[in-house]
Amino acid sequence: MDKSRTVFHWVLTPTLNGEQAEAALKRWMSGSETVKDLDQKSQIVNRSFRYFPLWYFRWKSDGQERVALEPAAATSVTELAHLSLLAGDLRPYAPSLEGDSEPPSVPLEAGLDWFRQSHAGAKVEEMALVHVPIFEFKYLYRGETYTAVVDAATGSVLANVYPAKAELPYRLVGGVAAVVFLCLASFPVIGGLADHDGGAIAGFLLCSGLGLIAAPILMAWAGWVAARV
């Protein structure tokens, strides 16, 4: 059978129920990517389950099999295309799942065009329509509504837009620390230029002493920022 011309229809079996998916979302909310205490300060307002369609393309590169996914339906969470699928996890799609499945609205030709744009010259050996089980959550945070998707097969969380940690406070701490230690490092040089006999030693001792004072202050400041951002 020429798999490059046959379009199979597969489904990924879910391993998480709604409560387990919500627990996975809460763990992600309490992680390092999101604002502090998002899991406690946000409110989940909706949870829905469905099988979402993806176009599946398999090809070989440097002797190794590769897989790429493209959305087969409109979605606000384009990260779904970055799911990891193993061929051994796929099962033939059953018509009994249609009630919980979103039908494909993106033609195969469009998905194939997207694939070729990002994988020029790749020869597709297998194409398939894969329905993956997902829980979609809507949650409120500071008056804004956000969407997150939990892969019901692996528990991974996908989101395009979410309340992320602010980078400016961390950059400020890092910048100040760099300036402080750069200035301290210049003391031995300045001392040596000013006094060839003992200036460098005096500058080194001054640098070491002030460094011992500055280090815990900067570390405490960094800890304070991490606890509040």
Domain boundary residue among 119, 134, 158? 158
Report the DSSP beta bridge partners of residue 7: 127
Q: Is the pLDDT of residue 229 over 90?
A: no
Predicted pLDDT of residue 201: 73
Does the structure show a pLDDT above 50 at 2? no
Q: What is the pLDDT of residue 76?
A: 83
Instruction: Please check whether residues 121 and 198 belong to one and the same domain.
Output: no
pLDDT digits (tens, 9 = 90+) for 56-85: 999 988 888 899 999 999 988 888 888 877
Residue 171 confidence (pLDDT): 58
In this model, does residue 133 exceed pLDDT 50? Answer: yes
Residues 114 and 23 in one domain: yes
Domain boundary among 99, 125, 158: 158
Residues 212 and 105 in one domain: no
Residue 1 lies in a domain: no
Average pLDDT over residues 158-184: 67
DSSP string for residues in 39-63: HHH-EEEEEEEEEEEEEEEEEEETT
Let me know whether 173 and 154 are in one domain.
no
As a residue count, the chain comes to 229
Residues 119, 196 share a domain? no
With a cut of 60, say whether residue 131 has pLDDT above it: yes
Same-domain status, 193 and 119: no
Tell me the C-alpha distance between 182 and 157, whole Å.
41
The pLDDT value recorded for residue 84 is: 78
The answer to whether position 88 is within a domain reads yes
pLDDT at 223 over 50: yes
Q: Which of 134, 158, 182 is the last residue of a domain?
A: 158
Same domain? For 149 and 210 the reply is no
Burial 167-200 (b: 16+ CB within 10 A, else e): eebeeebeeebeebbeebeebbeebbeeeeeebb
Residue 163 lies in a domain: no
**Into how many domains does the chain fold?**
2
Answer yes or no: do 222 and 137 share one domain.
no
Is residue 152 very low, low, confident or very high in pLDDT (cuts 50, 70, 90)? very high
Q: Is residue 55 part of a domain?
A: yes
151 and 173, same domain (yes or no)? no
- Which residue did the predictor score with more confidence, 192 or 154? 154
Are 74 and 135 found together in one domain?
yes
Q: How far is CA 52 from the centre of its chain?
A: 19
* Domain limits for position 194: 168-228
pLDDT at 111 over 90: yes
